[in-house]
Amino acid sequence: MIPPTHFAFPAAIYFAASHRAPEAVKVLTPEACQRLAEANYQANILRLERALLGIPPTTPIILPPDKAPPGYLLAAKQAFDDEVEAVTRDLRQALEAGALRAMGFRDGMPVPIPPVYWRMPVRWCETAGVTVMADPFERAAKGDLVPMDGAFIDLALDRGDVARWCGALPPQPAATFSPETLRAWYRLRVASWSGDMPPPTERDDAEAAAAMFGRAIPRDTLRAVRRALAPKHWRRSGPRRRP
């Protein structure tokens, strides 16, 4: 298990990319990301329909105006994706050079990871009698366990080290969860919600609460808070309208 003082690799990459591309992050609100996800879903449906009709996959996908996200959202998403790719490349180089040091965790115990570990692009280990080939950095960047001394371990990076490496302020620790702090946070969420944005779904609230408290919130607890504090139109079933 990775302690709260450390980032898993995907979180470290996201943190550094967010620092490098702050304007894109401002645009890519949870609601904007949901809109992009919905457009991608619609595009995938069109691709499937075309495949069934025998239409070549090279034919451009054009969504209806009410389904297509605006150009500024697509540009922000592309800018952030480009930064994630650049951070991932730079992180690997920093680990290989020893400018950043990763720490492994096996059964809760820390395991130092030397820079030479990253200079060997392919490692072998035994898992249940089967030889496995793995690139440790690629696995870590996806959030997977990595091979080390014949076993698999969690890999993480110190939050402060990552912040100093990318020139950002150290990230704030997650808030301490309790039913009381959840209610206080939700009151603030309702009070500060922009009236020109569609109301959040239960899933939106669950994801925002998990980001706030650094852990998944019990569904029954969150539902009780929504029933007590969410405006009536937030709890209405059916699709959310976009502004």
pLDDT digits (tens, 9 = 90+) for 166-213: 887 655 666 788 888 898 888 878 877 877 778 899 999 998 888 888
Domain boundary among 166, 195, 221: 166
Q: Does 236 have pLDDT greater than 80?
A: no
50: in domain: yes
Can you give the pLDDT at residue 70? 85
Which residue segment(s) compose the domain that 150 sits in? 6-166
**What is the rounded average pLDDT of the residues 215-227?**
92
**78 and 105 together in one domain:** yes
193: in domain: yes
Tell me the range of 21-30, 48-57, 112-121 where mean pLDDT is highest. 21-30
**100 and 123 together in one domain:** yes
**What would the pLDDT profile of 39-52 be if each residue is shown by its tens digit?**
888 888 888 888 88
Number of domain units in the chain: 2
Q: Does 243 have pLDDT greater than 50?
A: no
**What is the rounded average pLDDT of the residues 64-71?**
80
Can you give the pLDDT at residue 239? 53
47: in domain: yes
**139 and 224 together in one domain:** no
**What would the pLDDT profile of 120-168 be if each residue is shown by its tens digit?**
766 665 556 666 677 889 989 998 888 777 778 889 998 888 998 988 7
**41 and 103 together in one domain:** yes
* CB contact burial 11-50 (16+ within 10 A = b; e otherwise): bbbbbbbbbbbeebbebbeebbbbbbebbeeeeeebeeee
Domain boundary among 137, 166, 195: 166
Q: CA–CA separation, 145 vs 142, rounded Å?
A: 9
**184 and 146 together in one domain:** no
Can you give the pLDDT at residue 240? 47
Q: CA–CA separation, 243 vs 230, rounded Å?
A: 20
Q: Phi and psi at residue 8, in whole multiples of 5°?
A: -65, 155
**What would the pLDDT profile of 14-27 be if each residue is shown by its tens digit?**
999 999 899 988 89
174: in domain: no
**48 and 26 together in one domain:** yes
70: in domain: yes
Question: Which among 75, 157, 109, 129 has a CA at the least distance from the CA of 1?
Answer: 109
Torsion angle (degrees, nearest 10) of CA 13, 104, 118, 144: -60
**64 and 125 together in one domain:** yes
In this structure, the number of other CB atoms found within 10 A of the CB of residue 199 comes to 19
Q: Does 242 have pLDDT greater than 50?
A: no
Contact present, 118 and 96 (Cβ < 8 Å): yes
**What is the rounded average pLDDT of the residues 222-239?**
85
**96 and 160 together in one domain:** yes
**119 and 228 together in one domain:** no
173: in domain: no
